[in-house]
Structure 1
């Protein structure tokens, strides 16, 4: 268990470092929201390894987004992971009425949260072992999830 802490960041490198720490700390659940996940390095081999290890331990991954286009074009590793762990991963797309939401966050086990205040900027905060910091992002994610529809579902073609 980590000591409770909160750290501000404002660069892409710091964001990627905190995202990696958040993924490593996750044991049971990862809930992520971003308009398109363009700045999340989810297609890199390092993150593929972290996500596969998390899912192999029985963790559950949920991604909510406005558009899956960036993932479909640039993250083939993530698409393979979705296929390989389809029973533990779910992706959803928000309706147009929610496209005005511009924040971005990752919630791990309802204990850790990584948030960017606006998806166009790298400025944000990482809070470890601080459940109180997770409350608002958790409520936002749950509301987004409830309004969203399934996307990026793995399919088997050619049969």
Structure 2
């Protein structure tokens, strides 16, 4: 059980990878647009794919974004995973009334959490292997998810 404060973008980037390296079977993400998470890098795409193809019946990747444009336009690997692994992977565009929220969450198996306190700053807290410390953040994600939103599709419709 450990917890540490993150203060730079470099530390935040390492914390994201550290969380993914824990090989979770369920990952919940609430973020503005996923840009700071750099999920399109090869190691992160591989980690997300490994999560989705794991033998566990409880595997799941749920993502809620406040802005969908970045995901739709600049995340082809993630959109490909959505096409291949739906409904294990869901990406939801949050309703407009959640735009005022400034925090960002990444929760693995309700035991590991990376919470960024403000979407424009790297200041964050990484919690590893502590379900009781992660519980409030898991509850917050459940509340955000409960607000609804529009599910992103894996295909783009054109004329």
- Output the TM-score relative to the length of structure 2: 0.90
Structure 2: any 5+ residue segments left out of the alignment? none
Find the aligned partners of 1:133 and 1:25 in 2 and give their Cα distance: 17
Offset at 1:157? Answer: 6.8
Q: Which runs of 4+ in 1 moved over 4 A?
A: none
Find the aligned partners of 1:12 and 1:113 in 2 and give their Cα distance: 17
Cα shift readout 1:91-118 (whole Å, capped 9, x = no counterpart):
1121111111110010000100001111
- Output the TM-score relative to the length of structure 1: 0.90
Worse overlay, 143-152 or 123-132: 143-152
Tell me the number of residue pairs that the alignment of Structure 1 and Structure 2 aligns. 155
Find the aligned partners of 2:60 and 2:35 in 1 and give their Cα distance: 21
| Residue 49 of structure 2: aligned partner | 52
* Correspondence 1:123-142 to 2 at 5 A: 123-142=123-142
Conserved 8 A contact 1:68-1:151: no
Secondary structure at the residue paired with 1:27? coil
Offset at 1:156? Answer: 8.2
Offset at 1:143? Answer: 0.8
| Residue 102 of structure 2: aligned partner | 102
Offset at 1:40? Answer: 1.0
Structure 1: any 5+ residue segments left out of the alignment? none
Find the aligned partners of 2:51 and 2:115 in 1 and give their Cα distance: 20
Secondary structure at the residue paired with 1:39? helix
Offset at 1:148? Answer: 2.1
